[in-house]
């Protein structure tokens, strides 16, 4: 299946290329044959990535994020995770007044934010530089709404997260001929 047809189908499901993103930018990272060899495999990964050229920080899809779970470096790590989760829901300010504390050496960490009219503080389990996926699940629970939820595609120590309704996820899995995405475990 041609890359353009895969992109058209993904757009139908609510996973379009972000405004200004192009097929040429996708082809900068991988050759066309790699995308077309196994439909929906590589393109689902790529949609969660940032463009690999300047200017930096441009995402291929506003409803996807490739999340490398070995990403905790210190203060700000969990704020960054929370902001990415908010970004792919289309509600960048859904969690406000975000702040965290991460001291890997002392094995102390927490995150704090406001959602609606509630102030929330969660302790975080520190395991070297690995993200606490239970905490990520708590953030996801705060953000799922409108019949959409987070679906995941695992990739070793990383995963690509998508914000879809269950019907769209089911159609994607049927088109891919396998379970391409599954609800985030929670």
Q: What are the residue boundaries of the structural domains of the chain, listed by start?
A: 3-67+147-183, 70-143
146 DSSP assignment: T
**pLDDT, tens only, 99-126:** 999 999 999 999 999 999 999 999 999 9
Instruction: State the pLDDT at residue 186.
Output: 60
Q: Is the pTM of this model over 0.85?
A: yes
Residues of the chain with pLDDT under 70: 186
Contacts 24+ apart (CB under 8 A), 105-114: 109/72, 109/78, 111/78, 111/79, 111/82, 111/135, 113/82
3-state SS class at 131 = coil
Q: Residue 177: its pLDDT value, please?
A: 83
pLDDT at position 178 is 84
- 44 contacts 63 by C-beta, under 8 angstroms: no
Name the burial class of residue 116, with classes exposed (0-12), middle (13-18) and buried (19+) by CB atoms within 10 angstroms of its CB: exposed
pLDDT at 72: 96
């Amino acid at each position: 299946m041609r890359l353009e047809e895969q992109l058209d189908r993904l757009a139908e499901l609510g996973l379009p290329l972000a405004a200004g993103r192009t097929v040429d930018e996708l082809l900068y990272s991988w050759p066309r044959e790699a995308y077309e060899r196994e439909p929906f495999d590589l393109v689902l990964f790529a949609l969660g990535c940032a463009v690999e050229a300047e200017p930096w920080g441009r995402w291929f899809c506003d409803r996807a994020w490739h999340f490398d779970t070995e990403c905790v470096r210190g203060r700000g790590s969990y704020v960054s995770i929370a902001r990415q989760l908010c970004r792919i829901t289309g509600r960048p300010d859904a969690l406000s007044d975000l702040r965290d504390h991460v001291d890997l050496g002392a094995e102390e960490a927490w995150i704090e934010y406001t959602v609606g009219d509630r102030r929330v503080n969660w302790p975080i389990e520190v395991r070297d530089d690995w993200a606490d996926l239970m905490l990520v699940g708590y953030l996801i629970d705060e953000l799922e709404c409108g019949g959409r939820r987070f679906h995941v595609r695992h990739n070793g120590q990383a995963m690509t997260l998508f914000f879809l309704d269950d019907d769209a996820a089911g159609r994607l899995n049927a088109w891919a001929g396998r379970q391409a995405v599954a609800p985030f475990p929670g």
